[in-house]
Amino acid sequence: MLSSYRSLPKQALLGVVFVGVVLSSNWKSGLLAQKFEANYDEAKVPQYELPVLIDAKTAAAKDFASAWELRRTELMDIFAKQMYGTSPTSAYELKFEKIESANCCSGLGLRQQWRVWISTQHGQLPIDLLVFTPSNANGPVPCFLGLNFGGNHTITTDKEIPLTTSWIRENKVNGVSNNNQASESGRGAATSRWPIEQILAEGMGVATAYYGDIDPDFDDEFTNGVHALFPEHRPSAEHPDRWGSIAAWSWGLSRLLDCMSMQIKEVDAARVAVIGHSRLGKTALWAGATDRRFALVISNDSGCGGAALSRRAIGETVGRINTSFPHWFCPNFKQYNLNENSLPIDQHQLLAAVAPRPIYVASASQDLWADPHGEFLSLSLAAEVYQRFPTAKSGSSDAPVMRLGYHLRDGKHDINAWDWSHYLRFMKQL
């Protein structure tokens, strides 16, 4: 089955010119050439002043929701142009191809595989979407959507899921390289991160795609993956505010949501939560902030560039992340290397941009690299905006309203069934 959808060319942003520091042509050179030593000591957190979340004009407004809308637009524009990069506004076409639909999980679920084709005049890109929904559902169900790190074949042992043919990270077994190709040895390798049966048993669905289908995770100067479909929007020294890989992955999540809302009748598109772990947690946050169709947003151990406050510079810092992963953010973000205090934004403002939709931030006690306390602080600060929205029950269930969720799991940087049990409970409010 093949269905298609043509996007309207989106209106270009009008009249907003962001005045920033113009980067010199060596923006990619090693600004942090000296050895990096992470700080894990609260006493050594530099003095910082956070940018204001609700400015005086917004605070004084009679109608907070309308005033916040303007303030939010202002903040999101800065996040886009200084950190994640703007997404392209030119037209593209979407096609949805149904690959498979089958019973799975010992009769507990329905498994669907779809191929989402994105095309422009410059080429086409397939993204493989894997969706599980409970087989005993009476109607469309709430559903989690998140990208995975290794290919759809890694999240379950189901043999019907083909190995990804996209580029995967190099892995050496007994000194032998995988040549960036998936193999059977990876099948089911990430099942602990995707407790499908636990989710189905709660009457919910879960959908995923491989992030490398959208943009391979290495620095190729933004020429492959979805960047290749929009060469006119390629980041460069002249255009340092254009999308990096996190923004590209997030944009891909929105296209997957397009497919779910237009094609997958088992899913209630008004109750889709975007979720992600680590770099894909940063991605989930940016997707959830930019695309308000996501009804709920979950960040699992997203750390620097995700939920953690940049100014604390605990664990991973802006300079470090831009050096290790020069392609994740837009080139403009590099001007804040070792210079967090001059950032016009910080991450509490990104979390607040999700308001009044529910948001959940989770940390792990041993994941100091991601600064658990900085993640918690940032969520607490975002509450200032949530407090100003009236508390209302959205769904028909008797689940409690929990607009802000946080947990600190004991243990390492990871996402597991214990984390999911909390997300499932939080999700019930939809």
Q: How far is the CB of 241 from ligand GTR (least distance, A)?
A: 22
Asked if residues 166 and 211 have their Cβ atoms less than 8 Å apart, the reply is no
Residue ranges in 16-55 that form contacts with ligand GTR under rule CB under 6 A: none
Residue 158 touching ligand GTR (CB under 6 A): no
- Residue 303 binds ligand GTR (CB under 6 A): yes
Q: Between 161 and 321, name the residue whose CB sits nearer to ligand GTR.
A: 321
Which is nearer to ligand GTR, 182 or 284 (by Cβ)? 284
For position 76 contacting ligand GTR by CB under 6 A, the verdict is no
214 forms part of the interface with ligand GTR (CB under 6 A): no
* 55: number of Cβ within 10 Å: 14
Q: Out of 278, 299, 302, 378, which one is annotated catalytic?
A: 278
CA distances to 15, 18, 76, 105 from 69, in Å: 18, 19, 10, 44
Q: Give the Cα separation of 96 and 255 in Å (integer).
A: 10
Q: Is 80 in the site for ligand GTR (CB under 6 A)?
A: no
Quote the least distance from Cβ 82 to ligand GTR, whole Å: 18
- The verdict on 278 binding ligand GTR (CB under 6 A) reads yes
Choose one: 232-240, 316-324, 377-385, 401-409; the region binding ligand GTR (CB under 6 A): 316-324
Build a one-symbol-per-residue string for 334-363: x at contacts with ligand GTR by CB under 6 A, - elsewhere.
------------------------------
Torsion of CA 351, 53, 239, 277, to 10 degrees: -20
How far apart are CB 337 and ligand GTR at their closest, in Å? 14
Among 227, 271, 279, 348, binds ligand GTR (CB under 6 A): 279
Confirm or reject binding of residue 419 to ligand GTR (CB under 6 A).
no
Dig out the tokens for 113 from the structure: 């595989």
Q: Least CB distance from residue 320 to ligand GTR, whole Å?
A: 7
Selected from 110, 304, 314, 351, the binder of ligand GTR by CB under 6 A is 304
- The span from the CA of 408 to the CA of 392, in Å, is 27
Q: Verify whether residue 413 is a known catalytic residue.
A: yes
Work out how close the CB of 78 gets to ligand GTR at its nearest, in angstroms, rounded to a whole number.
21
* CA atoms of 66 and 13, how far apart (whole Å): 20
Long-range contacts made by residues 95-101, C-beta under 8 angstroms, separation at least 24? Answer: 95/2, 95/3, 95/4, 95/5, 95/119, 96/1, 96/2, 96/3, 96/4, 96/5, 96/259, 96/262, 96/263, 97/1, 97/2, 98/1, 98/2, 98/263, 99/128, 100/160
Closest CB to ligand GTR among residues 177, 324: 324
Residue 296 beta carbon to ligand GTR: minimum distance, rounded to whole angstroms: 21
CB of 363 to ligand GTR, least distance (A): 13
- Residue 303 or residue 326: which is nearer to ligand GTR going by CB? 303
Q: Is 403 in the site for ligand GTR (CB under 6 A)?
A: no
Closest CA to 156 of 127, 116, 183, 192: 192
Contacts of 29 (CB under 8 A, 6+ apart): none
Q: Determine the Cα–Cα distance for residues 129 and 313; give it in Å rounded to an integer.
A: 36
Which position among 394, 413, 421, 422 bears the catalytic label? 413
**Interface with ligand GTR by CB under 6 A: which residues?**
278-279, 303-304, 316, 321, 324
Active site positions, annotated = 278, 413
